[in-house]
Structure 1
Amino acid sequence: MEMPKPGPDHARLTRFVGAWSGDEQLSPSPWGAGGVAIGRFAFRVGVDGTALLQDYEEEKEGQVAFRGHGVFIVDPMSHDIAWWWFDSFGFAPDPPARGRWDGDTLRMEKHTPRGAARYTFVLDGDALRLRIENRFAGQDDYVEFMRGDYRRMR
């Protein structure tokens, strides 16, 4: 099998590359009371251009309260974007969130025994908006869990 080469979908992911910081609003959930936070992302390309690597930290009241690490790839079979997420809570990242681009918006979904989540990343130059909606086990509808507005710092 010939090794896949990064293509147009990989190039679209590189638009995230850089350091980002911004304000977040979290809703109450099983993981906490919610409130305001500052979120910071660092995105970089890895694995010979076939993956986008993401580091994240959330600051509340001057202290880092949460950390995460993400890995985005373009599935060579389906061309979906797949995103594995590892974080301070320690849940296994399987299955990955999956989605596709819609213009400048990357929409993804994930379903686990704990519930389902929808992720919406909207890129506009040096501005990034992220919205996370959850539907926990036993709920009928999705509810907003987190909304963040970030600016590229470098």
Structure 2
Amino acid sequence: MPRPDAEHEKLARLAGTWTGVENMHPSQWMPNGAEASGVTTSRVAVGGFTVVTDYEQRMGGQVTFVGHGVYTVDPRNQNVVLYWFDSMAGQCEVFRGSWDGDSLALFSENPMMGHLKLTYEFQSDDTMNSAMDCSQDGEAWNRLFDSVYTRSER
């Protein structure tokens, strides 16, 4: 039976309950920008081969966005793969990328938003910065949001 490798073990850093404040930058979906709160609950699953995550965003006390993701490692190239489902798209978005030290950068492309870049940067074991950028051409990027999350439970 196969066993998770070092790349799978890196994904375990995402496990736990993370809470934070999100700075939503002005965009076509939110012309004035806004501040939101986010909670992500993630767990190691499938014998250590995946991390399963559920996300909820709130503004003004109301749930405004929810998502569900599964992170894993592609054994062919050791890239991290995120299969993401959310209340905005209603379909699966596939992100691919890799670790560089304490940072994970994942990329995707879709007709509605163009190129997407999702980044996680661990400042410590229990503090993580996250950001998403979008681009129509893959060259000039615009920030959609940035946030700082603190892990409250492992």
* Matches of 2:29 and 2:85, distance apart in 1: 15
Report the 3-state secondary structure (helix = DSSP H, G, I; strand = E; otherwise coil) of the residue aligned with 1:54. Answer: strand
Give the fraction of aligned pairs with identical amino acids, expressed as a percent.
34
- Find runs of 4+ consecutive structure 1 residues off by over 3 angstroms: none
* Matches of 1:4 and 1:39, distance apart in 2: 35
- Aligned equivalent of 2:115: 116
Query: What TM-score do the two structures reach when normalised by structure 2?
Result: 0.91
Query: What TM-score do the two structures reach when normalised by structure 1?
Result: 0.91
- Aligned equivalent of 1:83: 82
Deviations 1:114-148 (A, max 9, x none): 20111110112110100100114x78611000101
Deviations 1:78-137 (A, max 9, x none): 11000011001134224x11111000000111112220111110112110100100114x
Report the 3-state secondary structure (helix = DSSP H, G, I; strand = E; otherwise coil) of the residue aligned with 2:10. Answer: helix
* Matches of 1:42 and 1:139, distance apart in 2: 30
Deviations 1:16-42 (A, max 9, x none): 111010110012333334300001101
* Matches of 2:139 and 2:90, distance apart in 1: 23
Unpaired runs of at least 5, structure 2: none
Q: What is the Cα-based RMSD across aligned positions, in Å?
A: 1.6
8 A Cα contact 1:4 1:76, kept in partner? no
Q: CA deviation at 1:76?
A: 0.9
- Aligned equivalent of 2:127: 127
- Aligned equivalent of 1:32: 30
Unpaired runs of at least 5, structure 1: none
8 A Cα contact 2:115 2:138, kept in partner? no
Report the 3-state secondary structure (helix = DSSP H, G, I; strand = E; otherwise coil) of the residue aligned with 1:52. Answer: strand
